[in-house]
Chains A and B, each alone.
Chain A
Amino acid sequence: MSSHLKTWPLSLFLGIVSFPLVLMYVYLVIDTITVTPPGSIIPEKFTLEDWRFLFEEATGRRPSIWSVTLNSFILASANSIVIVSISATAGYALSRLNVPFRSFFLAGMMVLHAFPTVTLIVSIFLILQMVGLYNTLIGVILVKASLLMPFGVWIMKGFYDTVPWEIEMAGVQDGASRFTVWRRLVLPQVQPGFLALGVFAFLDGWSEFILPQVLAPSSDVQVLSVYLAGLIADEFYFDFGLFKAVGLFYSVPVILLYLFFQDKLMNIYGGGSKG
Chain B
Amino acid sequence: MRHQSDRLGLAFLTPALIFVVLFFLSPVVLTAVFSFTTMSTATGISGGTYRITPSAVRSAAEKGLNPATAERLSQERYTIDDDALTRATKAGIDAEILKELERDLKGKSTDDRRSFERLLKKLDNRPNRRQVKSISPHFRTSILNQSFEDRTTLDATLENLGLDAAERARVAETSYTGWIWTSANFRRMFLQPDTYRILINTIVYVFTTLVIFNTGYAMVLAIVTFYLPGRQATVYRTIWFLPRITPPVIYVLLWKWLAWDTGFISTITGWFGVASRNWMLDTSLNAWVFVVLINGFVGASMGMIIFSSAIKTIPESLFHASAVDGAYRWQQVRHIILPQLRWPILFLTTYQTLSLLSSFELIFLATNGGPGSATEVWSLAAFHLALSNYAGNLQYGLGAAFALILVLIGITASLFYLRLFKFSEMISKPRIEH
Where the two chains meet, the residues of A that have a C-beta atom closer than 8 Å to any C-beta of B are 1-2, 4-5, 7, 10-11, 13-14, 18, 20-25, 27-28, 31, 38-41, 82, 86-87, 89-90, 92-94, 96-100, 102-103, 105-107, 110-112, 114-127, 129-130, 142-143, 145-147, 149-150, 153, 161, 165, 168-169, 172, 177-179, 203, 206-207, 209-210, 214, 224-225, 228-229, 232, 240, 243-244, 247, 250-251, 254, 258, 262, 265-266, 269-270, 272-275
Check: B135 CB closer than 8 A to any chain A CB: no
Minimum Cβ distance to chain B for residue A237 (Å): 14
Which residue of the partner chain A has the closest CB to B404? A119
| Distance, CA A122 to CA B382, complexed state (A) | 8
Proximity bits, B392-434, A CB within 8 Å = 1, else 0: 0000100110010011001101110110000110111011110
Contacts of A102 in B (CB 8 A): 9, 427, 430
**Contact between B359 and A118 (Cβ–Cβ < 8 Å)?**
yes
Within 8 A of A (CB), among B261-311: 262-264, 267-268, 270, 295, 297-299, 301-302, 305-306, 309
| Distance, CA A5 to CA B11, complexed state (A) | 58
Check: B156 CB closer than 8 A to any chain A CB: no
Contacts of A228 in B (CB 8 A): 249-250, 253
**Contact between B306 and A203 (Cβ–Cβ < 8 Å)?**
no
Contacts of B22 in A (CB 8 A): 142, 146
**Contact between B9 and A254 (Cβ–Cβ < 8 Å)?**
no
Contacts of B39 in A (CB 8 A): 126
**Contact between B399 and A122 (Cβ–Cβ < 8 Å)?**
yes
State which of B247, B305, B407 has its C-beta within 8 Å of the C-beta of A209.
B247
**Contact between A39 and B267 (Cβ–Cβ < 8 Å)?**
yes
Contacts of B379 in A (CB 8 A): 116, 118-119
Check: B357 CB closer than 8 A to any chain A CB: yes
Check: B319 CB closer than 8 A to any chain A CB: yes
**Contact between B417 and A169 (Cβ–Cβ < 8 Å)?**
no
Q: Which of B23-31, B63-71, B89-97, B163-171 contacts A (4 or more CB under 8 A)?
A: B23-31
**Contact between B15 and A178 (Cβ–Cβ < 8 Å)?**
no
State which of A7, A96, A265 has its C-beta within 8 Å of the C-beta of B227.
A7
**Contact between A41 and B268 (Cβ–Cβ < 8 Å)?**
yes
Where the two chains meet, the residues of B that have a C-beta atom closer than 8 Å to any C-beta of A are 2, 4-6, 8-13, 15-17, 19-20, 22-24, 26-28, 30-31, 33-34, 39, 45-46, 221, 224-229, 232, 236-250, 253-258, 260, 262-264, 267-268, 270, 295, 297-299, 301-302, 305-306, 309, 316, 319, 323, 329, 332, 351-352, 354-355, 357-361, 364-365, 379, 382-383, 386-388, 396, 399-400, 403, 406-407, 410-411, 413-415, 417-418, 423-424, 426-428, 430-433
